[in-house]
Amino acid sequence: MLESLVTSKTRIKLLLKFFSHANSGYLRSLAKEFDESTNSVRVELNRLTEAGLLVSEDEGKTKMYKANTQHPFFGEIKGMVSKFLGLDDLMERIVKRMGMVEKAYIVGDYAKGIDSGTIQMILIGNDLDKEYLEFIKEKTYEKVQRKVDVSILTSDPGDIQGILVYGK
């Protein structure tokens, strides 16, 4: 879906990186992370900044980029990225049927904005329906062609590095 709207693979990677989570990055680290040339990343960073979708600020000699949360289309782009990753439907299904889910986090590569093919989640709650979890993992793979790896905790340790997608 996203590939038909955005033809640049580098631009897609940047949108996933910046709009799936409150990530920031600088040119060389992004080029290394995406295994792309610094020139191709620079061109796309400039285009997204000129369009107002990204903002940059200088940190010493390094220019840091992040999503412009004040852009009028920020919410819509974030929603498109979420749909592209298949997270919106997955979260809705899990929370409705799993039982007493208190919190749900996306961790790992997807939390960093990298589409690795495996969505890693942490669910926090008691008496969760593990049988349904196995069913939904299979259905999610069929629908979005991504493996889902879920860990269940009974309480929040407070130091989870990832995107809180459900709960407070």
The SS3 assignment for 80 reads helix
Between 95 and 101, residue with greater pLDDT: 101
Residues 80-89 have pLDDT tens digits of 877 766 666 6
Task: Tell the burial category of 8 from Cβ atoms under 10 Å away from its Cβ (0-12, 13-18, 19+).
Answer: middle
- Alpha helices (H) in 57-147, listed in sequence order: 74-85, 87-97, 130-144
**Joined tokens for residue 155:** 């309480």
Tell me how far apart the 2 most distant CA atoms of the chain are, in Å.
Answer: 52
Residues 122-144 have pLDDT tens digits of 999 988 888 888 887 777 777 66
Domain 2-76 sits in CATH 3.40.50.2000: no
Domain locations along the chain: 2-76, 86-167
Question: Token pair 């693979």 is at which residue?
Answer: 9
CA distance linking residue 58 with residue 66, whole number of Å = 12
As a whole-number percent, the residues of the chain with pLDDT over 70 amount to 87
Q: Report how far Cα 33 is from the mean position of its chain's Cα atoms.
A: 15
Among 152, 82, 134, CA closest to 111:
82
The SS3 assignment for 128 reads coil
User: How many Å from the N-terminal Cα to the C-terminal Cα in the chain?
Assistant: 30
Mean pLDDT of the chain: 82
Strand partners, 107: 120
Does the pLDDT at position 4 exceed 50? no
For 40-57, what is the HEC assignment? HHHHHHHHHHHCCCEEEE
Does the pLDDT at position 1 exceed 50? no
The CATH number for 86-167, chosen from 1.10.760, 3.30.460, 1.10.3470, 3.90.550, is 3.30.460
